[in-house]
Structure 1
Amino acid sequence: MEEKIASSSRPTMHFIRQVMLRSVRGVLNRAGMELTRYEGDLEAAKLKKIFSGLNELAKMERALVPSEEVKFLTFAQRYLHLSKSQILQDLFVLHELGEKEDGYFVEFGATNGIDSSNSYMLEKFYSWNGILAEPGRVWHESLRANRRCKIDHRCVWSQTGQDLEFNQVNEPELSTINAFSGADRYGQYREAGSKYYVETISLNDLLRTHGAPPEIDYMSIDTEGSEYQILSAFDFEKYHVKVITCEHNYTEARDKLFSLLSAKGYVRKFQEFSEVDDWYVKM
């Protein structure tokens, strides 16, 4: 396990600024808008004032900022230099599980296993092990080169043994089962994708095939549209998953995922930070 030394080169203000920008982007996304040039679209002076104010509130732990959120922000700033996740998912997991070592993860889609990975930090610095699933051919070689855990190239789906058309696009992180290509605001980027068929495996069979333990510390689900279909077929009685991060991209599936996971005893946390994801903890 590699040394985990907090970086002193990342000022708290920079981190708070990034979190606030994510919150602003989340609001715009829900309104069907995008923030692509931060400094050009928002006045720097106003942003600085907002960040300074939030930072002061965090220091004082006033009621205006819930103490649990303050603790998470403080923790995330401390370990930000280790994170590979796109929007702090790995730090959320680490925070919720008390910096647990030797944990177990399941992540799909895994892309190349490093960039925007929600499990890379856990494997590299905290000696976690687990399963990665990624059907996109563009990622297969790099994924196997980058990670030491178990890897499956089948497409996680509600059923095993189907052949589904997969759409691999120029922005490969947006690749998905073709039936979901137009399900979110990124549909236009998938119109010219390369199509090929992939074999499916259910989440239950994925875990069984690779010998997953009955208690799974963390599950990361980012399949660009099929998340609800996968989880609705999952055996929550056989496997106890402590923390789940699940992409929703502000589609109608978000409410269905919330209803499903709430009924299974999960609580959604930190919506102001999680953007296109929802983060759940089993209570």
Structure 2
Amino acid sequence: MIKIHKLLKSAGTWVYLKFLILIGFRKLFNLKTKFVFSQTGEDMILYMLLRDIHDDDLFYIDVGCNDPIHDSNTFLFYLNGGSGICIDGNKSLIDKHKKIRTRDISICSLVSDEVEEVTFYISKENRVSTASKEVMINNSNRWEFGDKLNLKTRTLNEILDSNLPKGQAIHLLSIDVEGYDFKVLKSIDLEKYQPKVIVIEMHSFSLDPEFLKSDEVILYLQSFGYSLKYYATFNAYFVRIS
């Protein structure tokens, strides 16, 4: 408990105050609850899929990591002793990661399957910032977009080649980049780097049998030995079976 108090204090007064309120309610009503940090419970599903990995050994790659705590798919694992590589195009968010999640390797970059210069549209609602003009236009009636940055993309292969500790297994790959998700997925060599679990945002998902037989993400991951395990609130969860 001392560890989480110290960590959340470093995140700011308001975050720490909300934590203390939650702790107070849990004690007052004797609630047997777990803390959830992701947007819609993604970390609970991932925790179940990765329960056979010792907490301190768990290593993740979080592409589109956004805030180090709020709506994070990987903060729960960090809190329990895990670590990983967190990547985002928003420098202010990466600076927060470096301050709060000091065990992680935090990298400011956009990721794609090819090296190219793209426009990064930054929203005041950070989690919808995107390198996709189409996504930005579609979301502009709900969220305000401000700064535009011209950034050069890197492939996930190049980032991992340079930063992944030697011999380190990858247990989780989380991809949430608002329209560039499949490009990120294609930028990692899944024969060389073999994450046990992949969670990727898929807004167009359908349980229709024709969709399941033809979707490019599903077919692509099946070709590398991954099976679709779950789908929940815009995210598909794949587990490596071979």
Tell whether the structures are fold-level matches, with TM greater than 0.5: yes
Query: Considering only aligned residues, what root-mean-square deviation do their CA atoms show, in Å?
Result: 2.8
Rounded to whole Å, the distance in 2 between the matches of 1:260 and 1:88 is 26
Aligned-residue offset at 1:188? 3.0
Partner SS, residue 164 of structure 1 = strand
Matched, 1:276 2:234: yes
For 1:118, the equivalent position in structure 2 comes to: 73
Structure 2 letter corresponding to 1:147:
R
Rounded to whole Å, the distance in 1 between the matches of 2:126 and 2:74 is 19
Structure 2 letter corresponding to 1:279:
Y
Aligned-residue offset at 1:178? 3.8
Rounded to whole Å, the distance in 1 between the matches of 2:135 and 2:239 is 29
Aligned-residue offset at 1:275? 1.1
For 1:263, the equivalent position in structure 2 comes to: 223
2:38/2:70 contact within 8 Å kept: yes
Listed as ranges, the gaps of 5+ residues in structure 1 are: 12-77
Structure 2 letter corresponding to 1:111:
N
Aligned-residue offset at 1:199? 2.6
Rounded to whole Å, the distance in 2 between the matches of 1:186 and 1:263 is 33
Task: Indicate how the Cα distance of structure 1 residues 104 and 180 shifts in structure 2: closer, same or farther if over 3 A, else same.
Answer: farther
CA deviations over 1:113-147 (Å, ceiling 9, x no partner): 1101111110111x112100011134233222221
Structure 2 letter corresponding to 1:113:
P
For 1:158, the equivalent position in structure 2 comes to: 113
Aligned-residue offset at 1:94? 1.7
2:123/2:146 contact within 8 Å kept: yes
CA deviations over 1:81-123 (Å, ceiling 9, x no partner): 2321112222222211225221110001111211011111101
CA deviations over 1:34-56 (Å, ceiling 9, x no partner): xxxxxxxxxxxxxxxxxxxxxxx
Higher helix share: 1
Identity of aligned residues (%): 22
2:175/2:184 contact within 8 Å kept: no
Task: Indicate how the Cα distance of structure 1 residues 178 and 10 shifts in structure 2: closer, same or farther if over 3 A, else same.
Answer: farther
For residues 194-233 of structure 1, the aligned pairs below 5 Å read 194-212=147-165, 213=167, 215-233=169-187
2:124/2:144 contact within 8 Å kept: no
Partner SS, residue 217 of structure 2 = helix
Rounded to whole Å, the distance in 2 between the matches of 1:279 and 1:146 is 27
For residues 15-26 of structure 1, the aligned pairs below 5 Å read none
Task: Indicate how the Cα distance of structure 1 residues 123 and 95 shifts in structure 2: closer, same or farther if over 3 A, else same.
Answer: same
1:169/1:189 contact within 8 Å kept: no
Partner SS, residue 82 of structure 1 = coil
For this pair of structures, how many residues does the alignment match? 209
Give the TM-score taking structure 1 as reference length.
Answer: 0.65
Q: Which has the larger radius of gyration?
A: 1
Task: Indicate how the Cα distance of structure 1 residues 10 and 136 shifts in structure 2: closer, same or farther if over 3 A, else same.
Answer: farther
